[in-house]
Structure 1
Amino acid sequence: MKHILLLTDFSENSLNAIDYSMHLFKGDSCDFFVLHVKSSDSYTTDDLMAIGNESIYNTIVKDGKEELDRMVLDLKTRLNSENFTFNTIVDFDNLTDAINQVIKTKSIDLIVMGTNGVTGAKEVVFGSNTINVIRTIDCPTLVVPKGFDFRKANEILLPLDVEDTLSGNAFNKASKFTDRFSKKVHLLRIIPNSDNLLEDQKDKKDLGNFLKNTDSEYHIVNDIPMNYVVDCYIQTHQIDLMILLVQPESLLERFFMGSATTKISNSIRVPLLVFHT
């Protein structure tokens, strides 16, 4: 049974991401953990003092728990023919700390979340939440763009930079997903120069070892930033989902230069599935 963590702030976007996951895993046996986090950062000392004699649970957590229970009851009613179980969790904590705790205690296989929250401020909410989850939490994460309507992940795009390898653990996990859900994988190897012969040979050898049951299309692109290549390719091909193999990044690189992960994630047109190396 798959153990899947669904993140929600009750926004339309997070509910759409949950709905996407219900369609994606239709027919599978899944144990869903639906997590709503009341961020401790959003409450000041004055807020807590104003609680008075009531407990923090009753004033901060209880309302969220009741709304979460109503949402899950609706899911159970709509999906009673599926082999799904649902568990609700409300936490008063930092978002990434709350997620890590659930991952450890519930043996989570996948996180599902939307790209922005109730404020609609993509540059703030997505930057602080989704990117932080992708970068700091070592668990496969599926990010669904705002307003994206579900369609089967028949055609998957996998962009690769110079650090990505098709023989590592991350790609092994990605290939298992593509074998299960897709018909074809489009691979784009983006490299900074024209000396690509060795990359080409190694990639094609690895593809033969891992993508045995899935068609693939392989391209090498030179001297063009990954986010430009990805955006152009998605607009000119019928891509249903994108996979990224995320490398560890130093704080200096993230602060001064940004990263391909950040630039791609902030402008994704299709669901993004992240596997960590």
Structure 2
Amino acid sequence: MLGVLDCGFNPPPRKPPGGNPVQKQKFPMKKIMVATDYSDSSNTAVTYSISLANHFGSLVSLVSAVEEPYSSSAGVLVNMRDHIREQAMETMGKVQSEVAGQLKNGATMDTHTVDGAPGPTITRVAKAKDYDLIVMGTRGSTAAREMFTGSVANSVIKNTQLPVLVVPTTCPFRDIRRVILSVDEQPFDGPHVLEPLLSILRAYNAELIVYHGDEDGDGKGYDPRLPEYLAGVDYRLEVRSGKSESISEGIKNAVKLHQADLLCMVYHDHGFFGRLFNESTVSKVVFASEVPMLVLQDA
């Protein structure tokens, strides 16, 4: 169902938690990679991955990228790397033990360490091992230990073909009951782009608000095939025009206005200039979002 929301519209009452676990979905969501910081794997990203796994009966893999430390001595270098790897396995093992009782409906968990810089390594392993979703925790650049920041998340988003769920570590877990899908003027490659989002909407019985910020007011709007791609989904549409705020600010304000539990954006790879604009907006929101952000790939 398609409707129009005025910008000043008060957010509707939230749906009660719902959804049927392990529903048959078009998008499988059977293997979820959680990219973790070896120093602290117990964060909200793990909690969200468990919630998803319990709905889809998924395998959750805690994966820690062990980057080669700098040292002038080869022997010291090897010892440091081995120490980091051991610390990572110990930390992830503790997390696995702590959350084992939370897994249900066939969901399971395992742990892995891999050598390499976080961004490229996460992308490579996710592709090689056929994961369906990458989950990453982010924290600000002033954090004492900065393994996974917005910059690493952006690197993964730009170089993977998988959906990426970016979870701010300061964000408390909330059941997914209201989702905002932000769309721009770029057309989608096809309905498959939205399948991960649709699977999540069905699993959580969540409501959807489609937001379009028409910053330049040129009237081009969003992909006209969107209603077709969202067939069978109840959603409302909000279009905000004008230059009073940037696209990223408009998205942030919409999330706050509607008390959304999840923000969804699409990363397009359609031509250099379109990609450049889209990349800039997605990157800004990755750093600024206060709620989990699902980035879908339209490569």
Q: Shorter-chain-normalised TM-score: which range?
A: 0.7 to 0.9
Q: Secondary structure at the match of 1:44?
A: coil
- Determine which of 85, 91, 102 is the counterpart of 1:67: 91
> In 2 relative to 1, CA 251–168 (structure 1 residues): closer, same or farther, beyond 3 Å?
same
Identity %: 21
Counterpart of 1:266 in structure 2 is 287
Conserved 8 A contact 1:156-1:182: no
Report the alpha carbon displacement of residue 232 of structure 1 after superposing the two structures with TM: 1.4
Aligned-partner residue type, residue 6 of structure 1: V
* Alpha carbons of structure 1 residues 149 and 162: separation in structure 2 relative to 1, 3 Å: same
- The answer to whether structure 1 residue 220 and structure 2 residue 239 are counterparts is yes
Structure 1 position 215, deviation (Å): 1.8
Paired with 2:106 and 2:152, the residues of 1 have a C-alpha distance of 30
Equivalent AA in structure 2 for residue 276 of structure 1: Q
What letter corresponds to residue 185 of structure 1 in structure 2?
Answer: L
| 8 A Cα contact 2:41 2:91, kept in partner | no
Measured after TM superposition, the shift of residue 253 of structure 1 is 9.1
Matched residue, 2:74: 48
Q: Please list the CA deviations of residues 101-140 of structure 1 after superposition, one character each: whole Å capped at 9, or x if unmatched.
A: 3223321000111112896169995243111111222211
What is the Cα deviation at residue 227 of structure 1? 0.8
What is the TM-score normalised by the length of structure 1? 0.81
Alignment of 1:21-32 (within 5 A): 21-32=49-60
Secondary structure of the structure 2 residue equivalent to 1:25: helix
| Structure 2 residue ranges without an equivalent (≥5) | 1-27
Whether 1:4 aligns to 2:24 is no
CA offsets per residue over residues 62-81 of structure 1, 9 Å max, x none? 332233223222222x2254
Q: Provide the alpha-carbon RMSD of the alignment.
A: 3.4
Q: Which has the higher contact order (CA 8 A, sep 6+)?
A: 2
Go from structure 1 to structure 2 and tell me whether the alpha carbon gap of 1:254 and 1:80 turns closer, same or farther (over 3 Å shift): closer
C-alpha contact 1:187 1:218 (8 A) present in aligned 2: yes
User: Match of 1:149?
Assistant: 172
Of 157-166 and 108-117, more deviation after overlay is shown by 157-166
CA offsets, 1:33-58, max 9 Å, x none? 11011112xx124253325xx76764
Letter paired with 2:75: M
**Structure 1: gaps (5+ residues):** none
Shift of 1:235: 1.9
Distance 2:270 2:188 in 1: 16
Conserved? CA contact 1:4–1:110, under 8 Å: yes
Asked if the contact 1:100/1:137 (under 8 Å) is kept, the reply is yes
Q: Which residue does the alignment assign to 2:143?
A: 120
- TM-score (norm: length of structure 2): 0.76
Amino acid paired to 1:221: R
Preserved contact between residue 39 and residue 91 of structure 2 (Cα < 8 Å): no
CA contact (8 A) 1:246 1:274 kept: yes
The answer to whether the Cα contact below 8 Å between 1:65 and 1:90 also exists between their aligned partners in 2 is yes
Report the number of matched residues: 268
Structure 2 residue identity aligned to 1:215: D
